[in-house]
């Protein structure tokens, strides 16, 4: 999506021009497109992720959603969507700010077959900007979650490879099938890999403690300042990022009271 279509991004709230979102995701801009958009946000808001982390004698199980809420304002006379706002969960917001989200080519949304989309997702993850990535047909079938027989799955992959040779529609990668080995070759259209800064990850629960320690201040702006401080300090290793963040917030609050 063209980032100029995002009018505001702050504190996990994203404001987008609905028309641009529909176009970039290859959806129609009529009433049907509106219905599909509502259904998509319903699915996203209902998607829950559960993780567990074992440390020492403790096991932490955590659940969260991809988005917290969404809102579409639509004119009852013209039917046009006037405003679209999405509130990201803390987990997604942190992943975006930490540049830990995998980007997709905009032509991904033009792929009509679910298997094609899944194959592209796997290629972006495992091949990325490497020259080539190879995987056995059996393992690809498993990663795609296909319930087809091996023979049928091979036929489906063969058809995708043949169609791509003719139409060249698969984004970023060329696909070939040699026996039972599927190869994804980078078309070299991806930009040279830039240095990705992996910021210290914060437990979402720490924001509540930070708010209590800094009444009147916005903890997300404080987090941005903390990240800039961390970068300018040479990206030191933090054994307890949450404590470091809260300590930074308290110091900023004390300074604000003195000013």
Asked if 176 and 156 touch (Cβ cutoff 8 Å), the reply is: no
Tens of pLDDT, residues 199-248 = 787 877 788 888 898 888 888 788 888 888 888 888 888 888 889 999 99
User: What does the block give as tokens for 57?
Assistant: 């004698």
Beta strands in the chain (DSSP E): 6-10, 13-16, 48-55, 58-65, 67-74, 81-88, 132-136, 173-178, 181-186
d(CA 238, CA 138): 42
* Global pTM exceeds 0.85: no
Nearest to 153 by CA among 177, 125, 124, 129: 177
Which of 82-86, 163-167, 238-242 shows the lowest per-residue confidence on average (mean pLDDT)?
82-86
Residue with tokens 């993780």: 51
Q: What CA–CA distances, in Å, run from 19 to 66, 73, 82, 173? A: 22, 13, 9, 29
Q: What is the DSSP string of 94-132?
A: HHHHTT-SPP--GGGGG--SHHHHHHHHHHHHHTTTSSE
d(CA 178, CA 136): 10
Q: Is the pLDDT of residue 4 over 50?
A: no
């Amino acid at each position: 999506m063209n980032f100029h279509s995002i009018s505001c991004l702050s504190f996990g709230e994203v404001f987008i021009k609905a028309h641009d979102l529909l176009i970039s995701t290859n959806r129609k801009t009529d009433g049907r497109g509106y219905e599909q958009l509502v259904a998509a946000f319903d699915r996203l808001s209902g998607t829950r992720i559960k993780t567990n982390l074992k440390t020492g004698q403790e096991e932490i199980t955590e659940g969260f959603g991809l988005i917290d809420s969404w809102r579409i304002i639509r004119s009852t006379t013209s039917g046009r969507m006037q405003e679209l706002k999405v509130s990201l969960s803390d987990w997604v917001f942190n992943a975006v700010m930490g540049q830990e989200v995998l980007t997709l080519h905009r032509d991904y949304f033009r792929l009509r077959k679910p298997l094609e989309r899944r194959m592209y997702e796997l290629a972006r993850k495992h091949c990325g900007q490497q020259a080539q990535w190879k995987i056995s047909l059996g393992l690809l079938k498993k990663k795609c979650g296909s319930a087809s027989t091996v023979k049928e799955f091979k036929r489906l992959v063969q058809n995708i490879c043949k169609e791509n040779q003719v139409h060249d529609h698969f984004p970023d990668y060329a696909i070939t099938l040699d026996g039972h080995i599927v190869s994804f070759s980078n078309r070299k259209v991806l930009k040279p890999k830039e240095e990705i800064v992996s910021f210290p990850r914060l437990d979402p629960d720490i924001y509540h403690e930070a708010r209590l320690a800094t009444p009147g201040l916005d903890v997300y702006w404080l987090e941005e300042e903390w990240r800039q401080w961390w970068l300018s300090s040479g990206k030191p290793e933090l054994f307890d990022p949450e404590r470091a963040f809260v300590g930074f917030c308290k110091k900023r609050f004390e300074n604000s009271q003195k000013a």
